[in-house]
Each structure stands twice: as structure tokens, then as C-alpha cells.
Amino acid sequence: MPSKRETEREISKAIIRFEKEFMGRGPLETRSYIVDDMVLIRLKNVLTPAELKLAESERHERGRYLIKQMRQELIERGRTLLDAAIKDILHINVVSLHTDISAKTGERVIVFTLEEKPTFTDT
């Protein structure tokens, strides 16, 4: 059984893979944290150059809204892949997924809630 930190690194790698393959661009930095029955993932610099331009446009509020909407829809379409990745690593079913992205900073947060709290060799 791997340690908590090793598992968190494996989750980060899986999310980076998803972002690159499904979303078209990976983050520059990703950190995952397992807290009780939740997995929190923080991704930095996930926006494409086109999205950054849209967020900086004169009507930046509308551009940021469009980016958030599009990214939310993409996550929903890839939801089964994300749930499967977490289940493959933790061997625990995902109950729900919550996410938000800042079109201003290019940071995304993803939170998975699990059916139960995972156990590790170092806890």
C-alpha cells in the first residue's frame, strides 16, 4: 500500500494527463491533497493563450464568464474519466466532483468527495 504523499503525486499525474489529453493543455503546476474523504487538486496556469487574450479583452467580464462556462462544460463531459482515474488510484468510488476556475489567475481547483476515507501506510 503506497503512502499518502505517493498517492497524492499519482493523483496529480493523472489529472495532468487528463488536462493534456482531454482539455488540450496541461497545467504548469499541480498539487493534490487528500483530506479525510476528499481529494483537493490545485492546478496553476491552465489557460490557453487564446483564453488569456479573451480574459484580458475590453469586455473582460464577459470573456471570463465564457471561459468559466466552457471549462465547466468540458469537465462535465470528461467527468467519467476523472471519476475513473480517482477510483483506479484510491479504489474508492467518487460521490461528487466540484470545480471552479479563475479566468483572472488561470488557476483551477477540483474537489472530489469519496464514499469513504482512504487509508495509507503512513497514517
Query: Across residues 5-31, what is the average pLDDT?
Result: 92
Residue percentage of the chain with pLDDT more than 90: 62
Q: Could you tell me the three cell numbers for 22?
A: 482531454
Q: Could you tell me the three cell numbers for 20?
A: 493534456
Query: Pick the residue with more confidence: 99 or 103?
Result: 99
**Is the separation of the CB atoms in 117 and 37 below 8 Å?**
yes
Mean pLDDT (the chain, rounded): 91
Task: Return the pLDDT at 15.
Answer: 96
